[in-house]
A = this chain, B = another copy of it.
Amino acid sequence: MKKVSLKDIATAAGVSTALVSYVLTNKEKEARVGEEIAKKIREIARKLNYQPNYIARSLKSGRSFTIGLIVADISNPFFGNIARTIEDEAKRNNYTVIFGSSDENAAKSGDLVNVLLNRQVDGLIITPAEGSEQQLRQLQAQNIPFVLIDRFFPDITASHITVDNYQGAKKAVEHLIRKGRQRIGMIAYKTTLHHISERKRGYQEALQTHGYSAGRSLLKTARYSHLKEDMQLAIDQLLNSRHRADAIFFATNSLAIEGLKYINERGIRIPDELAIITFDETDALDLFYCPVTFVRQPIPEMGKAAVRVLLEQINQPHKGIEHICIDTTLVVRKSCGKRR
């Protein structure tokens, strides 16, 4: 089956190819052609199932109508859900999405940025990896529109969509305090990324405000690249010490899942022996024998905002940057137990 060309439509409509091209690419200027002939051309195009060649169109308009998306890992449900929302929202705006996973690795993220730019994406939505500031500065120098999501760098002036990580963490820890927990541990990724720093700050602030010592010994970190070993060590340290933790706050869903696997292995009962609270939701936390209380990030809102802000930047290059900070919700279930 041959691809339908503008010429085929012109022949069928009995008009020039130039006129067909004019009508099919300049919707807004239709009045100058005559409504009836424009309508006829569009109907024939539809009947013949005409598909515009986007590469040719891209060369003309300088647009590819494609968004590049860099997430930490598309197989992590948090990022899978973000990708899904961005996909749906991009589609509503006739954009498609090319994606890549950085594995929280700045070198890999840099490669991805280059690949996506080579594919002439109109802009990027990025969950930036630690140490990727230079890449972002380069994008700015090249005037390439981009929006950061989930985290940002305070000293890089760029549009970003995040949740209020500080307040979210503070609410989580205050919930544990209200339940009478005395020695509240936290396990976070070992990173300087802003969203994790903010969650740590919320944890420490909540403890201090309520007169608990936020001893460093109760705040543990795990490397993204050595999650399993580091998690086991962190939990062992929290639970084997003389001042055994009676609650753990996990900074993300992937930390919670890895942590709960090991807690199960050690046969520790939630919530009686240990209260659990985490950022992010996932099916695994629903099906856990003791459904886990969590800080909900409004993923659909985040994804929609990211696409909106990016398209504004693409369409209005001189529009200022935008910082969007969305509130989280604490969803209380059973893993923090009853008030002691």
Residues of B within 8 A of A284 (CB): 282-284, 286-287
A119 within 8 A of B: yes
Within 8 Å of chain B (Cβ to Cβ): is A75? Answer: yes
Contact with B along A283-325 (1 / 0, CB 8 A): 1111111000000000000000000000000000000000000
Identical chains bound together, number = 2
- Chain B contacts of A99 at CB under 8 A? 83, 87, 97, 99
Considering the chains assembled together, what is the distance between the CA atoms of A319 and B138 in angstroms?
44
Question: A-side binding surface: helix, strand, loop or mixed?
Answer: helix
CA distance A87 to B284 in the complex (A): 25
Given A51-B114, A287-B257, also A84-B101 (CB < 8 A): yes
- Contact present for A97 and B96 (CB under 8 Å): no
Complex interface residues of chain A between 244 and 299 (CB less than 8 A to chain B): 257, 260-261, 264, 282-289
Rounded to whole angstroms, the CA-CA distance of A257 and B80 in the bound complex is 17
> Which residues of A are interface residues toward B (Cβ below 8 A)?
1, 3, 51-56, 58-59, 64, 66, 73-77, 80-81, 83-84, 87-88, 91, 96-101, 114-120, 138, 141-142, 257, 260-261, 264, 282-289
Q: Chain B residues near A289 (CB, 8 Å)? A: 288-289
Tell me the minimal C-beta distance from A74 to chain B in angstroms.
Answer: 5
Q: A81, A87, A118, A283: which has the most chain B beta carbons within 10 Å?
A: A283
B282 & A283 in contact (Cβ 8 Å cutoff): yes
Q: A51-B117, A55-B59, A91-B115 are in contact. List 11 more A-B contacts (CB 8 A).
A: A3-B142, A55-B64, A55-B119, A74-B84, A74-B87, A75-B80, A77-B77, A84-B101, A96-B115, A96-B119, A282-B283
